[in-house]
Amino acid sequence: MKVVIVGTGYVGLVTGACLAEVGTEVVCVDVDAEKIARLQNGILPIYEPGLQEIVVRNQQGGRLSFTTRLATALPGAEVVFIAVGTPPGEDGSADLQYVLQVASEVGALMDHYLVIVTKSTVPVGTAVHVNRAVKESLYTRGMIVDYDVASNPEFLKEGAAVNDFLKPDRIVVGVNTLRARQKLEQLYRPFLLNGHPILFMDIASAEMTKYAANAMLATRISYMNDIANLCGLVGADINQVRKGIGSDPRIGKHFLYPGIGYGGSCFPKDVKALIQTGREYGYRLRILDAVEAVNEDQKQLLFQKILRHFDGNVSNKKFAVWGLSFKPNTDDMREAPSLVLIRSLLDAGAMVSAYDPVAMKEAVIYLGSNITFADDMYQAAEDAVAVLLVTEWNMFRIPDWPRLKGLMRSPLLFDGRNIYDDVELVKMGFTYYGIGNTAATPVNALLR
Ligand code: UDX
């Protein structure tokens, strides 16, 4: 089967590469000529573990190609995926202009049956607009060509996207004809071999599933951040509480980690867009309003703790930031909590030296020359009054503590992800702050 994927961003590229990996003929299309030229030479616009190898292998195998021209890609294709961006508009709603533009172009060029699938995260009801855009283009040409629209949201985690695609928990497909269902079942058959289910449903439900999943996960995080903050006040240990509640299979142990707020390209945008959809229909999603509000506060938390420690004066003090990307294994800086923290520190007159194993090139775009980018984690900490652990990359997990202590101006650590053994650190002479209360805080230490 041949498929066309429009948009070679994160989702489009992973989808194209992974479909090619199981033998599908894939043509990826993008308007960005420079990006396409680089992809043709095996240079990827993003960092994603395992993706480079798959792209190159399938390009060499003749199953994956890149072009700027939709017209040359469409002949012989059976499915077209729309995987272009849906940036948030001013009110938080997803901006659909690129999606609808692609739908119009497909309508303007198609001459045989196609399943036109939205892969981008789009608000409930978008398929109706996509359908209209295709129909209008066909009408303008005076053409009658059969086609179906479908919705196939992705559930890829950055840093694990290839694995998520190749071994999906589930594949959600919204269709309203048997023909489209059969086509997409055929396309996804190679991924279903190990019992991974494909869930067919109506189109609106598929569109909603994506938002409901992300909003639920964001809710868990804000909930845990709230509980962690309360633990800090009452003297309970959030790590113990997390284990305690996560052992209940109804709750489950994943996605219960408090931190400095969720970021990335999905949660902030999708929570906002779902709230906005509610508004459009006259329904206020009160839980999600709170999820957002907690997250905004949480992004400020580490800075507040720092200010409190230094009695409000951080001016001309050097802080080492470990990790910049919104989470490990990605260079994505979109909505990264590190940006909020760093900007607050700079505004307060502090100096920042940062290290991230992958995201520094991307971070320059956001932070320019306002901070120093160090060659490694220890260089970042030289003469620093505190180390701020922001992103839990594995390389930060077991530092050479004595070396670190020797380099720093004062042995002070703010752990934005609760990854360190606070009791050990306190024994080694560090002053430690985590998220919420942890074992080393006085009330718990008394019981040891
Ligand atoms: C998410 C969804 O997981 C994925 O299914 C969807 O398709 C896109 O959005 P992603 O944005 O790549 O994926 O990141 P994810 O690993 O889900 O983390 C999102 C944010 O939540 C990160 O900022 C992370 O640090 C934070 N997080 C996650 C926590 O603070 N605590 C947790 O327990 C888990």
Per-residue pLDDT of 190-201, as tens digits, reads 999 888 899 999
215 C-alpha to ligand 1 centroid (Å): 11
Residue 231 is a catalytic residue: no
**Cβ < 6 Å from ligand 1: which residues?**
154-158, 214, 217, 221, 255-257, 259, 262-264, 266-267, 326-327
Which among 14, 51, 158, 333 is the best mutation to test ligand 1's pocket, defined by most ligand atoms within 8 Å of the CB? 158
pLDDT given at position 444: 57
User: Model confidence at 443, in pLDDT bands (50, 70, 90)?
Assistant: low
pLDDT given at position 88: 81
Q: Which protein residue has the closest C-alpha to ligand 1 atom 3? A: 157
How would you classify the pairing of strands 171-174 and 198-201? parallel
Pair of tokens at residue 209:
């599933």
Beta-strand runs (E) in 224-360: 318-322, 351-355
Q: Give the ranges where 336-421 is alpha helix by DSSP (H).
A: 337-347, 360-367, 377-381, 401-407
The answer to whether 158 is a known ligand-binding residue is yes
User: Model confidence at 445, in pLDDT bands (50, 70, 90)?
Assistant: low
310 C-alpha to ligand 1 centroid (Å): 32
Q: Which of the following is catalytic: 18, 28, 231, 266?
A: 266
> For residue 114, which of 187, 65, 63 has the smallest C-alpha distance?
187
User: Model confidence at 448, in pLDDT bands (50, 70, 90)?
Assistant: very low
174 C-alpha to ligand 1 centroid (Å): 24
Mean pLDDT calculated for residue range 137-162:
95
Q: Which domains does the chain have, with CATH numbers?
A: 2-201 (3.40.50.720), 240-445 (3.40.50.720)
Question: pLDDT by residue (tens digit) across 225-239?
Answer: 999 999 999 989 999
How far is C-alpha 362 from the geometric centre of its chain's CA atoms? Answer: 15
What's the helix, strand, coil split of the chain in %, to 5? 45, 15, 40
- Does residue 23 carry a pLDDT above 60? yes
Question: pLDDT by residue (tens digit) across 379-428?
Answer: 999 999 999 999 999 999 999 999 999 999 999 999 999 999 999 999 99
Question: pLDDT by residue (tens digit) across 357-380?
Answer: 999 999 999 999 999 999 999 999
Provide ipTM, 2 decimals: 0.92
Pair of tokens at residue 445:
């230490």
